[in-house]
Every structure is written in C-alpha cells, then in structure tokens.
Amino acid sequence: MIEIENVRKSFGTLEVLKGIDLTVQNGEVLTVIGGSGSGKSTLLTCINGLEPIDSGRILVDGTEVHAKSTDLNKLRRKIGIVFQQWNAFPHLSVIENVMLGPRKVLGQSKEEAREMAVKQLTHVGLADKLDVYPGRLSGGQQQRMAIARALAMSPDYMLFDEVTSALDPQLVGEVLDTLRLLAAEGMTMICVTHEMKFAREVSDRVAFFHQGVMAEIAPPAELFGSPAHPELQKFLAATH
Ligand code: ADP
Ligand code: MG
C-alpha cells in the first residue's frame, strides 16, 4: 500500500503540498480531482520519488521513498507512471519502445521482453500495431502505448496524470476504457483526472485537492452526491 503522512512540499516560497495524509490500499482505485495548480501532479511525482519532499513521509509497501537508504530505482520499478504526454522514441517501433524498459532496466532477454511487450500491447488493444512507428499512431493509441510501456515493467502501482487531457474528445473513451480494464483487474491506481464521469464510475474513493490541501476525500457517491467543502461545491458546479 501507499502511505502518505503529513507531507509538505514547497517550490521556493510557494507551498504546494500543505500536509497531505492519505493511505491507498492495495487494489484501491483513487481518483484525484481539483483545480489547476492545486498540487495533484506534485503529489504523484513525490510518490515515485521524482521530487523530494520537505517533511513528512511517503511509504510504498513499507519502504520510505525519500529515505537516503532507499534504492529509488528499485522502488520505482514497482510504480508505473503515465503522464499527459509521453514522447516515444520515434525511430523505434511500438513494440521496441515497450521492450526498452524491460531490456535496459530489468535486464530481460530479447525474447522475454518481446513476450511481455506483446502481452501488454494486446492488453491495451494495440496487438495490430506492434511494428508500426509511434508517429503513425493516433493520440489515444499513443497513450495506450504509454500505458503498455509502464505495464511491461510489471508494476504493483500505477499513477496516471491527466492521461486524457491532451486528447481529442473522440479519443478519450478508448484510453478511459483501458484504465477501466486495469481497475477491474485489481490494479492499485491513483488517477488524476478531469473526467468526472470516469471518477464517479471507477473510483473506490475520490480526493479533492484545493490549494495544496486535500480538502475532501470520500467514495464517489458521497463526494459527488453531497460535497461538503464549499470549494468542492464550486469546483463541481463549474465542471458539470
Ligand atoms: P496541478 O497538477 O494540480 O495542476 P501541480 O502539482 O502541477 O498542480 O503544481 C502545483 C503548483 O506548483 C503550481 O503553482 C505550479 O506552478 C507549481 N510547480 C509545479 N512544479 C513546479 C516546479 N518544478 N518548480 C516550480 N513550481 C512548480
Ligand atoms: Mg497537473
């Protein structure tokens, strides 16, 4: 599980995370919503150790992410992260892009890495695109390739940061369907998203961030049905 204890994080004089407490259980799907600049992306980059924190602790399966003794590279293999956009290597085919991490980071043989890449690309519905170059994929297909690439590392946790935000509306559904599939399979996920319908349908809990504070967290029926925090009420009124 992921345990976040009183985490504070500033960029210069701007405090972006103001004492976040949050536990994500194995198999849980947590959705994070909130306005731009509320600290959602920073939370994800702190969880996988891309960003240092100022105080508090983040534990992944009991290992403290920011402790000096922690092997971050090893820990990060457990945690897949997919961003709004990922620049694939344009001169490598789709399958070669997906094989890269398992080959270089996990030291897998070509055969092993290929088998895993085929499995994960099939999983995200790209079985017919193995030998295509990424430039030939639609935005939705590129995002699904990015998800396959993360899954090829056999992570225990997946973090998604607005993976549909850069997509044309007609391509959003296919990417959300991939996330739905992962959720149904029991993957532990934290999804930052603006897709409220998705959040409502897929999440075990939804967290609302406002100005670096987790202002509300509840199961979706409760959070959307009877939002308590005035800022959440405003946010929902503006997004519906
Ligand atoms: P969100 O994802 O909710 O939109 P972010 O976590 O990206 O918010 O950013 C929170 C705040 O921190 C914003 O004001 C943003 O400008 C600032 N910020 C994020 N990353 C950096 C950085 N690397 N350096 C300086 N400020 C940053
Ligand atoms: Mg963000």
- Residue 53: what pLDDT? 98
Q: What pairing do the DSSP bridges indicate for beta strands 29-34 and 205-210?
A: parallel
37 lines ligand 1 (CB under 6 A): yes
- Residue 143, burial from CB neighbour count under 10 angstroms (0-12, 13-18, 19+): buried
11 lines ligand 1 (CB under 6 A): yes
Residues within 5 Å of ion ligand 2, judged at the Cβ atom: 40-41
Distance, CA of 187 to CA of 85 (rounded, Å): 21
- Residues of the chain where predicted confidence (pLDDT) is lower than 70: 240
Please tell me the residue having the least CA distance from ligand 1 atom 20: 42
16 lines ligand 1 (CB under 6 A): yes
Runs of H (alpha helix) within the chain: 40-47, 72-76, 94-104, 110-123, 139-151, 169-184, 196-202, 220-225, 230-239
**Which run of H or E residues covers position 58?**
strand 55-60
Could you tell me which CATH class the domain 1-78+158-167+190-239 is placed in? alpha beta
Every domain of the chain with CATH number 3.40.50.300 lies at 1-78+158-167+190-239
- Residue 86: what pLDDT? 78
ipTM over 0.90: yes
Distance, CA of 102 to CA of 119 (rounded, Å): 13
Please tell me the residue having the least CA distance from ligand 1 atom 11: 37
Taking the centre of ligand 1 as the mean of its atom positions, its distance from the CA of residue 35, in whole angstroms, is: 11
- Residue 180: what pLDDT? 95
Q: Does residue 163 contact residue 143 with C-beta atoms inside 8 Å?
A: yes
Ligand that comes closest to the CA of residue 162:
2
Distance, CA of 227 to CA of 215 (rounded, Å): 10
By most ligand atoms within 8 Å of CB, the mutation choice from 13, 14, 42 for ligand 1 is 42
- Residue 153: what pLDDT? 95
Per DSSP, the three-state class of 234 is: helix
Taking the centre of ligand 1 as the mean of its atom positions, its distance from the CA of residue 16, in whole angstroms, is: 7
List of residues 6+ apart from 140 with CB closer than 8 A:
167, 171, 172, 174, 175
- Residue 240: what pLDDT? 65
Distance, CA of 162 to CA of 171 (rounded, Å): 14
- Residue 161: what pLDDT? 97
